[in-house]
Amino acid sequence: MLTDCAINEGNESQVDILFEQLQKALDEEDRIITKMDEVFDSFPIREEADRIVSKRWSRLMNKAVEEVDDLIYFWLSAMKKVEV
């Protein structure tokens, strides 16, 4: 992932790269949500599904959400620098 230092120049290609990274991160978020939904659909006992999701998918989801948040910040920062 690009950092704030990497986007200081704020050129359009960096904006495009950040947007592509953001889209991939959003796709990963969607994939994890789909997997979590599959677990809930597969187990009639809600507590069992909760346990599996908590154990297997919650850390991945937290990481994906954090990555999306970071990329949104970097992408918007890069866009502002291109507009200036």
Q: How far is CA 70 from the centre of its chain?
A: 8
Indicate whether 4 belongs to any domain. no
The tally of domains found in the chain comes to 1
pTM above 0.75, yes or no: yes
Tens of pLDDT along 51-77? 999 999 999 999 999 999 999 999 999
Indicate whether 25 belongs to any domain. yes
Count other C-beta atoms under 10 Å from residue 76's C-beta: 13
Task: Report d(CA 43, CA 84) in Å as an integer.
Answer: 53
Indicate whether 62 belongs to any domain. yes
- Residue 34: is it exposed, middle or buried by C-beta count within 10 angstroms (0-12/13-18/19+)? exposed
Indicate whether 28 belongs to any domain. yes
Indicate whether 31 belongs to any domain. yes
15 contacts: CB under 8 Å, gap ≥ 6: 75, 78, 79, 82
Tens of pLDDT along 22-53? 999 999 999 999 999 999 999 989 999 999 99
